[in-house]
Amino acid sequence: MTDVPGLADRQAALVRALVAGAAVPPGFDRAAVCAAAHALRHKRAREVAARYPELVHAAGPDFTTRFVEWARDRPKVGTTPDALSFARECGIPWPPSRPGFFAPVARLFRRLRSR
C-alpha cells in the first residue's frame, strides 16, 4: 500500500487551506488558493456586516481589515457565532447592553439592501 493521499484527503486539505489557515497542499497553485481564501474571508466579513451593522459601527472604520485578519485561521461556524467571537476576542463591547436597541436599525438596513 502506498502513502499517496486519496482524493478525499486532498479535498479535505484544500478546504482546510481555504477556510482554516492551513498550509496549501502539494499540487495546488499557492497563489490561487491564497486568493480564494482571502476572498472567502472578505465574504464572511460582508455577511457579518450585513446582519450586524451595529457591530461594524462598534468595531470602527477598520472593521473589514480587522475581521479578515481575525478570520484567517478560524473556520466559519456561522454568522452569529463569528460576530460574537470576533467581538469578544477583539474586546469590542457587543452585543449592546440594551438588547433590541439596534434591531429596528438592522432590519431597516436588511430591507434596504434587499431592494
Q: Is 92 exposed, middle or buried (0-12, 13-18, 19+ CB in 10 A)?
A: middle
Q: What angle do CA 72, 75, 78 make, to 5 degrees?
A: 120
Tens-digit pLDDT string for the chain (115 aa): 455 668 899 999 999 999 999 999 999 999 999 999 999 999 999 999 999 999 999 999 999 999 999 999 999 999 999 999 999 999 998 887 655 556 666 666 677 767 7
Assess contact for 25 and 82: CB atoms under 8 A: no
In angstroms and rounded to an integer, the radius of gyration of the C-alpha atoms of the chain is: 17
Give the integer Cα–Cα distance in Å for 109 and 74: 27
